[in-house]
Amino acid sequence: MPKIDIFVLPKSGPLIAIDPGSRSLGIAASDGLRMIGAPVETIKRGKKLAPALDRLFELYDERGAVGMVMGLPLNMDGTSGPRAQAAHALATNILARRDIPLAFQDERLSSAEAERAMIVADLSRARRAESIDASAAAIILQAALDQLANLA
């Protein structure tokens, strides 16, 4: 499992997380003390990536974020496949736009975990569909926050 390098992300301040998908980006944010990661929104991706990145950086700036955590969709056996390569390409595009601290977090099963939690909360299928990506981003972010807390 890829580890977050403590030296990549600043030691304090809010973080933004991304659950990268081919059609959307799930976004979550932490509080300034990094106690909890919460879903923010799902950004739809069109044919051009620029509008999605514009919105991502609006959220980043609005929250005073100091770094990003991106879900890395590894295969179940831990190998890197096409989805992980797409996440790396997205990270390259983000960093080309703005040089910010960005770390990867293993995100295997984050969407499945988010869906299970929403089913337990008795959310309708339509409501789950509209918020699954942001909820998965919150799970990715919380895993990163927990890992960072253990390193401190």
**Residues whose CB is less than 8 angstroms from the CB of residue 38 and which lie 6 or more positions away in sequence, other chains included:** 28, 29, 30, 31, 138
Q: What is the pLDDT along the chain (152 residues), one digit of tens a residue?
A: 344 465 689 989 999 999 998 899 999 999 999 999 999 999 999 899 999 999 999 999 999 999 999 999 887 787 888 888 999 999 999 999 999 999 999 886 555 555 566 566 565 665 555 556 888 899 999 989 988 888 76
Query: What are the structural domains of the chain?
Result: 15-151 (3.30.420.140)
How many CB atoms within 10 Å of residue 126?
8
